């Protein structure tokens, strides 16, 4: 039972109730004893006043009756005549004070027992009356003797309150556990009603948001797999068609070279797609090795421009490279940055019409070196920019409308740049198409 929330709450509340009873008793006992003694002392003062008046006026027989009545109430009466008490026991200083005509109200042991002593003189007689009463010492034992009743009541109340409280607290947790079990079983439609205290509502919101996020994520995953399977199927179908044609002799020696070139191009397309999938999966698993070294971004982009110049000519986009006069050193992985540049240029080459501009630019920013890839193609809408780096998002949006890739390239570029400590963003290019901006920190910024 102690391992369950209900058992722990019951134990805590029961222990709290018992501790509260004990602490209350420990605090109340001194107060109760003090109150009883104060009341007894005040009563003894009043009795002394009355006794003096009665003993001064009543006959000797009546006096004996008054003394007997007081003794029945636990009060001892001492008569002092000519400076001497009628019996032993009173402190001598008390007898002397009464004989001197002084009113006495003190506390002193009588017969080894702490007692209240109140005395008043009888006028003009060198005599007086002294009343004594033992200080209350049984109050504490009475309270402690009856505390077990309160302890049992507190224990019963604590158990009952703990059981109700545990049920109230455990209910949203059980609902959350049940919902989590359904989620793990594949049910993404499960939702929890937002009831109970604020914390229970927060737990319900967290479970509901998790279920909704899983539902959206799995939907995107399915769409992504569909788009990737489509991208894989297209080159495979081309390769298979030409292979069957070659096997059946449909393609003769004159067409074999063209068929081989087509099959090679499609196989390279497949290889790039599979490589992108592998790199993306390793990035998401955070086990992709990176070789970060000081790199001159100007030289890196210049080399990329020379490589892409041949691919853009003669009927492709007009490639332009914009570089600053001096070097721009960053700490990054040159191979991965070149992979990002190649991926962005590959996407541009797919959609930018011949004669439209394709620009590779490098400039110095205040906090980072900035690399831009701009084009004069169809570009993006504002809605496209919000999902540009999500896997397969643009593929799903523009499939069958315009030339699109698998949707892996931009997602891969975004994750690579993030792993290298940089930032990437998409926007509208001044050339009329899309603009991708990559910001790479300077060495001082990277090491700080």
Q: Quick: pLDDT tens for 248-262.
A: 777 777 778 887 888
Q: What is the pLDDT of residues 24-78, one digit of tens each?
A: 767 766 776 777 778 877 887 777 777 776 666 656 666 677 777 777 777 888 8
Token representation of residue 211: 């279920």
CATH class of this structure's domain 5-140 = alpha beta
Residue 125's pLDDT band (cuts 50, 70, 90): low
pLDDT in tens, 280-334: 676 666 667 788 899 999 999 999 998 888 788 778 889 999 999 999 999 999 9
Model confidence over 52-63: pLDDT tens digits?
A: 766 666 566 666
H/E run at residue 294: strand 293-296
**β pairing state of 318-322 and 357-364:** parallel
Q: How many residues does the chain have?
A: 448
Collapse the DSSP code of 398 into the 3-class scheme (helix H, G, I; strand E, B; otherwise coil) and give the result.
Answer: helix
CA gap 440, 418 in Å, rounded: 10
pTM for the predicted model, two decimal places: 0.49
Domains of the chain by residue range: 5-140, 212-284, 293-447
For residues 138-158, average pLDDT: 64
Q: Tell me if the domain spanning 293-447 has CATH number 3.90.78.10.
A: no
What distances in angstroms separate CA 26 from CA 17, 21, 136, 148, 156, one per listed residue? 14, 9, 17, 13, 21
Q: What is the DSSP letter of 366?
A: S
Q: Which fold has domain 212-284?
A: Helix Hairpins (1.10.287)
The enclosing H or E element of 224 equals helix 198-248
């Amino acid at each position: 039972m102690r391992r369950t929330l209900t058992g722990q709450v019951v134990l805590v509340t029961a222990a709290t109730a018992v501790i509260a009873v004990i602490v209350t008793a420990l605090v109340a006992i001194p107060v109760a004893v003090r109150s009883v003694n104060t009341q007894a002392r005040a009563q003894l003062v009043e009795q002394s006043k009355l006794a003096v008046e009665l003993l001064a006026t009543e006959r000797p027989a009546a006096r004996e009756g008054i003394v007997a009545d007081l003794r029945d109430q636990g009060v001892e009466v001492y008569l002092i005549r000519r400076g001497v008490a009628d019996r032993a026991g009173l402190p001598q200083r008390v007898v002397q004070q009464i004989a001197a005509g002084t009113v006495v109200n003190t506390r002193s042991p009588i017969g080894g027992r702490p007692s209240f002593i109140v005395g008043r003189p009888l006028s003009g007689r060198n005599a007086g009356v002294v009343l004594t009463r033992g200080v209350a010492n049984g109050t504490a034992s009475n309270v402690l003797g009856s505390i077990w009743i309160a302890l049992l009541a507190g224990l019963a109340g604590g158990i009952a309150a703990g059981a109700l409280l545990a049920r109230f607290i455990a209910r949203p947790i059980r609902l959350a556990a049940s919902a989590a079990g359904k989620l793990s079983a594949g049910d993404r439609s499960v939702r929890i009603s937002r009831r109970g205290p604020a914390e229970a509502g927060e737990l319900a919101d967290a479970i509901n948001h998790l279920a909704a996020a899983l539902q959206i994520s799995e939907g995107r995953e399915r769409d992504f797999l569909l788009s990737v399977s489509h991208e894989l199927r297209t080159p495979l179908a081309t390769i298979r068609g030409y292979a069957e044609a070659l096997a059946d002799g449909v393609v003769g020696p004159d067409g074999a070279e063209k068929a081989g070139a087509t099959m090679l191009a499609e196989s390279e397309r497949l290889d790039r797609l599979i490589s992108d999938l592998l790199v993306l999966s390793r990035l998401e698993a955070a086990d992709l090795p990176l070789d970060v070294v000081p790199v001159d971004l100007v030289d890196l982009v210049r080399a990329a421009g020379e490589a892409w110049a041949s691919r853009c000519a003669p009927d492709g986009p007009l490639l332009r490279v914009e570089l600053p006069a001096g070097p721009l050193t960053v700490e990054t992985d040159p191979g991965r940055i070149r992979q990002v540049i190649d991926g962005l240029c590959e996407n541009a080459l797919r959609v930018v019409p011949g004669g439209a501009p394709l620009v590779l630019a490098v400039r110095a920013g205040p906090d980072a070196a900035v690399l831009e890839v701009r084009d004069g193609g169809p570009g993006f809408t504002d809605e496209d920019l919000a999902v540009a780096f999500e896997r397969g998002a643009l593929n799903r949006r523009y499939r069958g409308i315009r030339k699109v890739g698998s949707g892996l390239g931009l997602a891969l570029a975004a994750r690579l740049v993030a792993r290298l400590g940089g930032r990437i963003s998409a926007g509208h290019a001044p050339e009329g198409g899309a603009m991708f901006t990559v910001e790479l920190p300077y060495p001082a910024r990277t090491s700080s």
